[in-house]
Amino acid sequence: MEGCKKLLGFLIKMFETARFWVQLLNAQKFERPKIASMSTLEMIAREVGVSAQTVSNVLNGKNKETWGSTARRAAKIREVAQRVGYQPNVMARAVATGKSRVIGLVMYPHQLNYSNEIENGILKEASLQGYTTKLMHLSHNATATQIAELAEQCVAAKLEGIVALVIEEKDMLRLQRQMGLVGCPLVFVGGIPPQNSLGVYSDVPLSVRLGVEHLVALEHRRIGLLCGPAGSLTQLHLEAFHAVMNEFGLPSSEANVALSHWSDADVIAAAANRLLDAPEPSTAIFAVSDVQALVTFATARRRGLRLPEDLSVLCYGEVPLLAYTDPPLTTIIQPSSRIGHLAIQSLIAHIQSDEPDAPLRPLLVKEDISLVARGSTTPPATS
């Protein structure tokens, strides 16, 4: 187990180093933004075929009734603006409106999984719409008092809204309550958003189906599912997994599913061992996070199993380094950057809405989910 911990620690450091450079490079894109000028607006207006005033109104979210354009044309204006590097003058706008134009980004420290690409989408869309972002860390074991203090910090910083990025269900509910008390708009990204909340999340049943179908095509029959902790997201994974397995007439019971954790190596390793200690052990494990997949690699090797001959592994994930593990990991790609863009768009639309008390509904993203097959999945040694 100590070796497993060391391996996981080493891999996490690799991920964090890569993530640092990615974020640094992305940050450099925003170091010298182009301040919006009339010539920039006119250039966008000419390409789209509308007036410069309409472009200004769309990009600033003002006078929607006078846009004189369809939703498709408004989307085209934003697309062209992003391509030409449009950046509104945030300071001037803040002075004119009396608003901070700052959005908080709440996340756990050392967060891995697919959140990096979501962050990139959040930063780009926020910048495009004239907002800056403030990073705020939330402890995995945060108390109710700490979450209340986080809400007070949001008020003190005059944040216009919050994006909560890939946090656990219990913290979603507490954040929703506290932000509601202080009147700070909130959107959840990743996981299943609570009722009456803004949120953006990808299609879990479709993702699970892609993974199981890939393993079945390789002639695996004993497939194990390695989940996160109990909660609505895990329940959705379980329901989708059992449904697809039943379609193929494959065994689907408590024996081939295991609840674990998102980052605790000991808990993940114990769950992987349960799948491998079953009377009919799994020949393939579908992990719902990249950390779980990496711990499964280490756990299998400690048992003397060959990868992928004795055990195939696939997971959700789009961190580039997953293509360089040994063996390279087969992954299910989520439209993470787009999810980040949509999260900011929905939050800003709510902030600027004339009906702030209107019912809040999450957005389900079904497009652009795909599987990238690599060396970690092959036919079992004995079919």
pLDDT for 179-217, tens place per residue?
Answer: 988 889 999 998 888 888 999 999 999 999 999 999 999
Strands 86-87 and 34-35: parallel
61 versus 170: the higher-pLDDT residue is: 170
pTM above 0.75, yes or no: no
Mean pLDDT value across residues 271-283: 95
Give CA angle at 308 (254, 269), nearest 5°. 45
User: According to the model, what pLDDT value does residue 7 have?
Assistant: 56
Cα separation of 188 and 176, whole Å?
Answer: 9
Q: Return the minimum-mean-pLDDT range out of 14-18, 23-27, 220-224, 259-263.
A: 23-27
Task: Please say if the pLDDT value at position 32 is more than 50.
Answer: no
Task: Please say if the pLDDT value at position 170 is more than 90.
Answer: no
Mean pLDDT value across residues 119-147: 88
User: According to the model, what pLDDT value does residue 28 have?
Assistant: 43
Mean pLDDT value across residues 280-284: 94
Task: Please say if the pLDDT value at position 345 is more than 80.
Answer: yes
SS3 readout for 181-242:
HHCCCEEEECCCCCCCCEEEEECHHHHHHHHHHHHHHCCCCCEEEECCCCCHHHHHHHHHHH
Q: How many CB atoms lie within 10 A of CB 106?
A: 22
**Placement of tokens 């997971």 in the chain:** 315
20 versus 135: the higher-pLDDT residue is: 135
User: According to the model, what pLDDT value does residue 52 have?
Assistant: 78
Task: Please say if the pLDDT value at position 61 is more than 50.
Answer: yes
Q: Are 233 and 225 in contact (CB under 8 A)?
A: no
User: According to the model, what pLDDT value does residue 64 have?
Assistant: 54
Question: Which token pair is 363?
Answer: 């957005």
User: According to the model, what pLDDT value does residue 63 have?
Assistant: 52
Task: Please say if the pLDDT value at position 151 is more than 80.
Answer: yes
Residue 327, preceding peptide bond in cis (omega within 30° of 0): yes
